[in-house]
Amino acid sequence: MEVLSYSQAVGFALVPEFIEWEVGEEPIAFADRAGFFMYDADAAYVGGESENVLTYYYKKDGPWRYMAILDSISISRVILTENQAEEIALRLKLMAFVATPSDSLNRINTVLDRLFRAYHGHDPLTACNECDPAQAREDREFSNRLQQR
């Protein structure tokens, strides 16, 4: 398995010498052997299954301070960065791998909107005494104030 580095100036490049990923090894075990500590993770869920999992690691010192592992169904990729600025740039670049498809989000929103309207008989973005008493009271007070003018 190839290990890549990332920097904004160079982009992605092969890292010729790094520890080998052993067959069947979990990403976190590999990172641990390389001296990295996990601090964050992102995952894309498609149909309830996680398709791509991104885990992020840091190391206190060394030429490489940060590591990201993209673990998908078919392949794992290791990407190293030198500092936090490059790590953030890399995370922005990798976001596409873990973005929930907007299609499925839109579908979920439509279904929830319809359910809400069926139960409450009003638009989900407005409030009634049942679903949001505090907001409903505020709305009433606001329209009262408007009428008093």
128 is a site residue for Zn ion (CB under 5 A): yes
3-state secondary structure of 2: coil
Q: Are 57 and 97 in contact (CB under 8 A)?
A: no
- Least separation in angstroms between CB 140 and Zn ion: 13
The residues, any chain, with a CB within 8 Å of residue 93's CB and separated by 6 or more, are: 6
89 versus 136: smaller Cβ distance to Zn ion: 136
Does 38 help bind Zn ion (rule: CB under 5 A)?
A: no
The least distance separating Zn ion from the CB of residue 53, rounded to whole angstroms, comes to: 38
| Near Zn ion by CB under 5 A: residue from 59, 91, 93, 120 | 120
The single residue among 18, 97, 131, 139 that binds Zn ion, judged by CB under 5 A, is 131
Residue 115 sits in the site that holds Zn ion (CB under 5 A): no
- Radius of gyration over alpha carbons of the chain, in Å? 24
**What residue has token string 């010729």?**
16
Tokens of 69: 């592992």
Q: Applying CB under 5 A, what is the total number of residues that bind Zn ion?
A: 4
Gap between the terminal Cα atoms of the chain: 72
Residues forming the site for Zn ion (CB under 5 A)? 120, 128, 130-131
